[in-house]
Structures are given as C-alpha cells and as structure tokens.
Amino acid sequence: MSIQIEDATKFYGAQAVVNRVSLEIERGEFMVLIGPSGSGKSTLLRMIAGLTPMDAGRISLHGRDVTDQPPQRRGVGFVFQNYALFKHMSAAENISYGLRVRKVSKIEQRERVAELLELVGLAGFGSRLPAQLSGGQQQRVALARALAFNPDVLLLDEPFGALDAKIRTELRRSIKRIQREIGISTIFVTHDQEEAFALADRVGVMHDGNLVELGPSEDLYHAPQHDFTAAFLGNANILVGRKDDKGIHLGEGLFRHSAGDRGADDSEALAKLLVRPEDIVVSKLPLADDCHLVGEAVVEECQFGGAVERLRVSLKSTQSLQVIHPEQPPGGKAGHIDIHRTRPDALKSRLSVGDSVYVFFRRIHCLELLNPLPLMGDEQVTTFLLHCSQSGQAHPEQSSLQYSIPVTGDDPQGGDTMNIDQEKVLVWFGEPRQIERVVLKFSGRPADDRELVRFAREIFSSGRSPAIDILFTIPPGDFLSSEQQQFIAATRKELQSLGGPVRSMIRSGDPIFELRRAIYQADADLLIADLPELAYRAHATGQLSRWVLERLGPVASVLFLPAEFNLPTEEAA
C-alpha cells in the first residue's frame, strides 16, 4: 500500500473540516478527491503533506508512519494552485531549488533539470523567468520542481484552477502521461467533474469534511450509493417512486426487477431513484424504443449548449412519483426534471417552450429503499432519536412496532398510527442512522421556538453534536426585529455549547419553498420544526408522511404541534 490514511481529523474551532477520513491508495494509483468548496479536500491534502497538523488520526506513506514527521522528511512532492514559483529565479533554478537544499552536486542538478524540462515539455525554456512564461508553462515548472527529488508521492491541489479551458485540457493529458511514465502514487484535488473523470483511477467524493463515496468514475456516475454523489457528479434527477413485487413504479411506468437489483423482493417500499438527463427521451408521440413511458409534460425551458440541448420540463402528473432534485420552483408542484438531448436528436424533433411532450426513461438507478419506520409521538420520539444520535441505531424496542407509512395513492388507510393529540410527532424515512446534519426551523413564536431549542439540546447533549442550521423565514420586504436578532444570536450561542457547528439562515419568501431549499442545501438528516397548518390538516386525516414527502422530500422530521392550533373534534369534523 502506497498511502494509508486512518481516521484523519482536523478541527477549526468546533467544526470538523476533515472528519475521521480513512483511505488507502495503491502504488502507482492516480486518486482524485473531488468536492465543493469547503468540503475539506485541500485540508486533507495538506495534512498528508505535513503542511497542516492533524488533530487525530495516522498517515503512512509506503509503510512508513509519517504522522509526526515534518514535510521535508515525508518524501512528498506538492503542486500548488498558484504555482508558488520564486519570481527572481529562472525555470531551471526553481526546479533545482529542492536539489540544492538537499546538497545534490551541481552536475546531478543540471542533468536532473534537463531531464525534467524534457519530461514536462519545456526543453529550451530553462533560462526564462516566471514572468516570461504563460500560466500553463509556469504550472509545468511547478510540476517539474515537485518531481525533482524523486518523491514517493505526488500531491496536486487544484493545479489548473487559474488556467483557461484549452490549457487545462492540454495539462491534463501531460500530467496523466507523466504519472504513468514514472509510476508515482498521486492524489489530485479538484472541484471539476470533467477533470476528475479524465484523470482518475478512482474518485473520492468529499462533503462537509467526510469522504462520502469512493470508486471508479463510471461507477460513481452511473451507480452512486449516495444522493450527494449523484447530484454533485453531473446533472441529476432524483425522484421517489414506489416499489412492490412487480418492480418500481414511476408515474405511468413500471421498471421490472432484474436479478441482483437492490430490493428485488416482494416487499413494498418507497424507492429513491437517480435518472440522468441523458437517460430521458422526450417525444411528441407516445412511442419510443427501449424506453418506459413515465407521463406527459410541458417544456418550460430550452437552452442551446453546442453539442447538447438542455431542456427542463414540468410533468403534468406526479402520481406515484415525487421529484426531490432539481430544486423545484416556489409555489409550484414538485414535477420539474432536466433532460439533455444530443444535437442530432434535437434537430430530428425540434421543441419550443410550451410544447406538450411524452416523457420516457431509458434506465433508472435505485439510490436507497426507504423502508418506513412507524410514526411516533412524545417519549417514543425522544427515545428513538437519542439512540440514533449516539449510535446510529434505533432502540431495540422500536423493532417490534409495525410499519405504517402509506406509499400508494390517496388512500388514508395504513396512514399515521399515533393519535393527533400528541405534542410532537416523528416522521422517519429509511433505516435508523447517525444524525449528522439538522435543520431547525423557527416559527417566529418565541415560546414555541424555545421548545424546539430545548428539545434539540435534550437529544444532542450527549455524544457528538451534529451540524445545526437555524432557519428563519420572513415575508418579502420585511426585516428582523432587534428582539428576533437577539433571540437568534442567543440560540446560536446556546446550541454551539453542544460542540457542533451552528449557523443561522435568514430567508425571505415562501416558507415551504425556503424550508425545502434549506433541507436540500444542508443535506439534512433531520428537520425539527413546528407543524405547519397545512401539515397539521394532513396529519388530522392520517396523511402527514405523504405531506412531508411531497412538500419537503424524504427527510426525517420532528414536528411539534403548536398550541394555538385547535384540534378538530369528531363533532366538528
């Protein structure tokens, strides 16, 4: 094993920017770490190089524990995004700098510099200063300098970030060729999906300090295990359909099980699904080869993209189908999906905004089966979440409760199992799991909001606290009062005492739309909120779980019943 990372951890304040990451890289492997800004990928790279100290964990390079070794003793070459060349030195002098520090003879220095200039395609440029070189040429010098002392490991931190598209493509080819020629183990950090796919033997996806998923590029693109990976690596439509013994139902379509499919059994469940835009076909006729008709739609957007035409359509019916990504427009029914067509397909059947079309799916990928747990109230909620927050597992007593969340149609039978006069109710989708990210939705009523905070403290006071986002929505044009600002600031301070990162989000607009957006952006495991009036009415008719799914997506939710809502009596109903 060339590189072995065990539980690497780095905190900045209360926030774990790298959270117990473990990773093994083979000799000669080209590994790419990809993720959004702030995901921890560059920090992890600097920890491997010894440029940033670790708070916990261990790093071994070629079987040698280097956790406590300084950078110069790790045998690592590092290429920075900003080149980091000495401006007063020529290209040759920059490349030989590390050799001079290591007391290598001048003859050997000249030979090694000439060899490296040839390797990176800069033969004859050794006498030029950095100011006399293009950005791409400067980055080639930086690469040659990193390789000068024959390091065991090569680390590159977004080396193409400041370059234009054409030069990036050329340098990608060069780096891949050089890495193959010398057989050096390499870790390359980027936020560019195309870059990752072009270079990597394997790709590691990072998010909020965690290594979310790891594997070959094609596997992560076509068959990811995590919905963050699905949405980050390329364009994605993430939907929820219904699974039974026949297959998976999506709109009007039935996708029959194949041997080895996830959930290829007789049980019923909700299924979270990935459909790539290029796997969708649209036609003005209800016919398409090797495709499943899902339903009818109206073209909302049509964008020319050179070799690809990008469409966004709105499904006319979302029966047996819910769209949870892409983000849906405020106030609209959650039925917008993205479609990509090749130029020949677009020319064969021209479409314009407003056209009615039939929508077909070529293939789908099941991300997760959402086997529902029961709805629970009051002390059951606290007990269940305490065990999830501490161990990622449900309390054994919960296993005897019957599943009850409805998955088909509008039939209220099999709906919410608890009485509606409970103080709080838990809607939980999927298996018991560790709660890492929480959205706390304030109502603007101080007494009710204090109860939400009290409950969060009760659940997360022991064990490692999750990241908490406080959401406060106000009508367009309004501003927070000084009392509200003070209350939010005091709440942040109170929740930060639990030990996890806390941030506040003030949003103006439709409350349900902003809540849905906050849940998706936070990749939330749990929502804690007051029961909106519409949800309360759904709960009164046994349809709360369906309301949560349709309006917010399959996010686990603790919903408190506001005291000011009067429960309907049987006589009033």
363 and 488 inside one domain: no
Token couple for 399: 């296993």
Domain count, the chain: 3
Domain harbouring 323, CATH code: 2.40.50.100
Quote the pTM value. 0.75
List residues bridging with 188 in a β-sheet: 32, 156
Strands 76-79 and 153-157: parallel
Q: Rounded to whole angstroms, what are the CA distances from 452 to 49, 390, 500? A: 43, 19, 17
- Out of 171-185, 219-233, 245-259, 449-463, least confident range: 245-259
| 197, containing H or E segment | helix 193-199
Cα dihedral 390, 393, 398, 401 sign? positive
Instruction: Supply the range of the domain harboring residue 332.
Output: 235-256+266-370
Percentage of residues in the chain having pLDDT higher than 70: 85
- What is the rounded average pLDDT of the residues 308-325? 84
Q: How confident is the model at residue 380 (pLDDT cuts 50, 70, 90)?
A: low
241 and 154 inside one domain: no
Contact by Cβ (8 Å): 526, 555: yes
The values of phi and psi at residue 303, to 5°, are -120, 130
Vertex 523 angle, CA 297 and 494, to 5°: 140
Residue 513 has what pLDDT? 84
Domain harbouring 215, CATH code: 3.40.50.300
Compute how many other C-beta atoms are within 10 angstroms of the C-beta atom of residue 184. 21
Residue that terminates a domain, selected from 211, 229, 247: 229
Residue 425 has what pLDDT? 81
Please report whether residue 53 resides in a domain.
yes
317 and 433 inside one domain: no
Q: How confident is the model at residue 263 (pLDDT cuts 50, 70, 90)?
A: low
123 and 240 inside one domain: no
52 and 141 inside one domain: yes
| Interval 514-527: pLDDT, tens | 888 888 888 888 99
Q: Report the alpha-carbon distance of residue 381 to residue 270 in Å, rounded.
A: 22
Please report whether residue 416 resides in a domain.
no
Contacts of 248 (CB under 8 A, 6+ apart): 241, 242, 254, 255, 257, 271, 273, 364, 366
Question: Residue holding tokens 């080895």?
Answer: 260
Question: Residue holding tokens 């789908």?
Answer: 364
252 and 321 inside one domain: yes
317 and 190 inside one domain: no
Contacts of 87 (CB under 8 A, 6+ apart): 129, 130, 131
222 and 247 inside one domain: no
The values of phi and psi at residue 141, to 5°, are -65, -45
179 and 245 inside one domain: no
Please report whether residue 444 resides in a domain.
yes
| Interval 337-352: pLDDT, tens | 999 999 999 999 999 9
Q: Report the alpha-carbon distance of residue 94 to residue 104 in Å, rounded.
A: 14
Residue 288 has what pLDDT? 66
Segments in 332-435 forming alpha helices (H): 343-348, 379-391
Vertex 117 angle, CA 115 and 121, to 5°: 120
Which runs of E-coded beta strand occur in 478-521? 502-508
Q: How confident is the model at residue 573 (pLDDT cuts 50, 70, 90)?
A: very low
Please report whether residue 192 resides in a domain.
yes
Contact by Cβ (8 Å): 559, 565: no
Query: Which of 183, 208, 205 has its CA nearest to residue 193?
Result: 205
Please report whether residue 396 resides in a domain.
no
- 113 SS3 class: helix
Please report whether residue 282 resides in a domain.
yes
Contacts of 500 (CB under 8 A, 6+ apart): 14, 15, 460, 464, 465, 466, 467, 468
- 312 SS3 class: strand
- What is the rounded average pLDDT of the residues 353-370? 90
Q: Is the pLDDT of residue 376 over 60?
A: no
| Interval 130-144: pLDDT, tens | 999 998 899 899 999
Contacts of 153 (CB under 8 A, 6+ apart): 2, 3, 48, 61, 62, 74, 75, 76, 77, 184, 185, 186, 187
Average pLDDT, the chain: 83
Residue 341 has what pLDDT? 95
| Interval 410-440: pLDDT, tens | 333 333 434 434 577 888 877 677 788 899 9
Q: Report the alpha-carbon distance of residue 406 to residue 546 in Å, rounded.
A: 7
Contact by Cβ (8 Å): 190, 202: no
Q: How confident is the model at residue 448 (pLDDT cuts 50, 70, 90)?
A: confident
70 and 219 inside one domain: yes
Compute how many other C-beta atoms are within 10 angstroms of the C-beta atom of residue 456. 25
- What is the rounded average pLDDT of the residues 378-390? 68
Query: Which of 544, 567, 565 has its CA nearest to residue 556?
Result: 544
468 and 548 inside one domain: yes
Q: Report the alpha-carbon distance of residue 548 to residue 298 in Å, rounded.
A: 26
Please report whether residue 250 resides in a domain.
yes
Residue 470 has what pLDDT? 93
Q: Report the alpha-carbon distance of residue 71 to residue 149 in Å, rounded.
A: 13
Please report whether residue 534 resides in a domain.
yes
447 and 351 inside one domain: no
Residue 403 has what pLDDT? 28
Residue 533 has what pLDDT? 77
Q: How many helices (H) and strands (E) does the chain have?
A: 15, 28
Residue 333 has what pLDDT? 55
The values of phi and psi at residue 17, to 5°, are -80, -25
Chain centroid, CA 414 distance in Å: 33
| Interval 76-134: pLDDT, tens | 999 988 888 999 999 999 999 989 888 889 899 999 999 999 999 899 999 999 999 99
Q: How confident is the model at residue 249 (pLDDT cuts 50, 70, 90)?
A: confident
Q: Report the alpha-carbon distance of residue 58 to residue 63 in Å, rounded.
A: 12
| Interval 484-506: pLDDT, tens | 899 999 999 999 888 788 888 89
Q: Count Cβ atoms within 10 A of the Cβ of residue 4 and give its class: 0-12 exposed, 13-18 middle, 19 or more buried.
A: middle
